[in-house]
Amino acid sequence: MDADIALIVDGERRAVTVDTRTTLLDALRERLGATQPKKGCDHGQCGSCTVLLDGRRHLTCLALAVAHDGAEIVTAGGLGGPGGPGSLGSPDGALHPVQQAFLDHDGFQCGYCTPGQVCSAVGVLDELRAGHPSLVTEDLAAEDPTGSDDEIRERMSGNLCRCGAYAGILAAVRQAGTQEARA
Amino acid sequence: MKELTYHRATDAAEAVALVAADSDARFLGGGTNLVDHLKLGVARPGTLVDVSRLPLDAVEELPDGGLRIGAAVRNSDLAAHPVVRRGFPAVARALLAGASGQIRHQATTAGNLLQRTRCVYFQDVTTPCNKREPGSGCSALGGYGRYNAVLGASEACVATHPSDLAVALTALDAVAVVLGPDGERRIPLTELHRLPGHHPERDTVLDHGDLVTAVELPGSAVAPASTYAKARDRASYAFALVSVAAAVDLDGDVVRDVRLAWGGVAHRPWRAYVAEEALRGAVLTEETAREAAAAELAAATTTDQTAYKVAMVRNLTAHTLLRLAGGAR
């Protein structure tokens, strides 16, 4: 069965006809040319397909495209950097603070997991700002969990890096969080 | 994957009618388990009825201090809810111990309860599995069995239920509100999931077409002093080897009231009534807590691969109760 859907991808409305079995990841990559989200495990275990969907970090491999008709999706390419096909970019080509922090701290080696890591990190910082707890938050009732290294590790645990760039990723998220707190 | 008809339901009654009338139809919620099963060939529905956009996404406070949690409330939203964090910390901790930040944004309350076992053979369509293909046999009995059940298993199935949330809800006497073709009924969480017996293909007492629309948590004197502890192979993002949901109300060091449920040990969340009864009125010490857990575990059946679970759940129970007594949540 085919279905006509529309997705807003990095600020651009894209209409597409998909087989109802198509995952959101395959619709983005194979049908719409948005190749920033990567297919790693395709079973929700690695996080490399992470995007921001309606403002929250979301796996695109464990989602049917048809069920997300109308969704607003921001990929790592839509966060900042030079504009281009399928990318929001920014008027002056500036990188998002999280993207810049990954560069500053070598938060990657091969780069395959990076678009997912970056989207997840943006989500983590939003969740910290909103006061959401994590499993390592000692006082659940506290409304301002700190962005400690333990908190960042726990909150980023859904994104695997086979190159093992975790030390750099941790430093990058810490830097971006500190910048946000100052801003 | 088989051809799939997709229908987005506009109200709960329509969704129930559609699925009840078609043995080949399934409800689709957050999709985090079902979409994976479609890919693996574990589930092969012809029709999906999407209930994820139904207006079942509210958390309402009840007059008795309890909560009514809509079936479509996302795991992350429930864990961040101020009343859950203050009044039902075991529920918040159980949710936060499950899956990853991304998946918690996607997964729903009802979907979490109805997720299926992660037994490796259930998820591998090339191997016999009585839960997936009734009558085909159980590969876990003579195979990789480290995650197998130690309580309430049968010769047909030794799978464990994977939900963390369901364990906390079972400890805190939650009730599932279910809409079926003949109307609404209420099922205590302690009765929602089944033991496998001769029919491991049935995880719960729900019939085809039954839709969980809400979960109610009663107001409770013990719930604010509750927590959830999970033992697993990695510090994060792994299913439980064993887990403990506990709540305790102490008068000095004497147990006035207690709730205990275990995950990772059985085909359903295991409410530890025997241990609770042993603890009520007793002085809470490491020794009494371990003895109470051991009394519950007298019925355990283990193999070389699962014997560790008995010691682990006994110790984790004592550790968790003593931490609660010390003020941890």
Q: Which pLDDT belongs to residue B187?
A: 98
B79 CB neighbours in chain A (<8 A) are: 132-133
* Whether B5 and A21 lie within 8 Å, measured CB to CB: no
Identify the residue whose tokens are 């009654």: B13
In chain A, CATH 1.10.150.120 sits at: 97-181
- Domain ranges, ordered by start, for chain B: 5-50, 226-328
Kindly list the distances between the CA atom of residue B326 and the CA atoms of B5, B110, B226, B253, in Å, as whole numbers in the listed order. Answer: 54, 33, 12, 10
Mean pLDDT of chain B: 98
* pLDDT tens-digit map of A56-88: 999 999 999 999 999 999 999 999 876 644 455
What pLDDT, on the 0 to 100 scale, is given for residue A83? 60
- Report pLDDT digits (tens) over B104-115: 999 999 999 999
Burial class (CB in 10 A: 0-12, 13-18, 19+), A182: exposed
Does the domain at residues A97-181 carry the CATH identifier 3.30.70.1150?
no
Tell me which residue of A95, A117, A113 sits closest to A104, measured CA to CA: A95
Partners of B52 on chain A (C-beta within 8 Å) are 67
Instruction: Please give the pLDDT value at position B69.
Output: 98
| CATH number, domain B226-328 | 3.30.390.50
Architecture of domain B5-50: 2-Layer Sandwich (3.30)
- Tell me which chain B residue has its CA closest to the CA of residue A51: B102
Segment A80-121, tens digit of pLDDT: 876 644 455 566 678 999 999 999 999 999 999 999 999 999
Q: For testing the chain A interface, which of B35, B49, B83, B227 should be mutated: the one with the most A CBs within 10 Å?
A: B35
Q: What is the CATH number of domain A2-74?
A: 3.10.20.30
Q: Do A140 and B39 touch (CB under 8 A)?
A: no
* Inter-chain residue contact A59 with B38, CB threshold 8 Å: no
- Cβ pair B96:A133 closer than 8 A: yes
To 10 degrees, what angle do helices B307-325 and B286-296 make?
Answer: 140
pTM, two decimal places: 0.97
pLDDT of residue A145: 80
Q: Judging by beta carbons within 10 Å of its beta carbon (0-12, 13-18, 19+), is residue A118 exposed, middle or buried?
A: buried
CA distance B308 to A102: 42
What is the dihedral sign for C-alpha A126, A131, A135, A137? positive
The interface predicted TM-score (ipTM) is 0.96
Q: What is the pLDDT of residue A89?
A: 57
Burial B132-156 (b: 16+ CB within 10 A, else e): beeeeebbbbeeebebbbbbbbbeb
Question: Which residues between 40 and 69 in chain A have a beta carbon less than 8 angstroms from any beta carbon of chain B?
Answer: 42-44, 47, 50, 56-59, 61-64, 66-67
- B120 interface with A at CB cutoff 8 Å: no
pLDDT at position A93, please?
76
Encoded tokens for B5: 């008809």
CA gap B89, B190 in Å, rounded: 19
Residue B209 contacts residue B16 (beta carbons within 8 Å)? yes
In angstroms, the separation between the Cα of residue A179 and the nearest Cα of chain B is 22
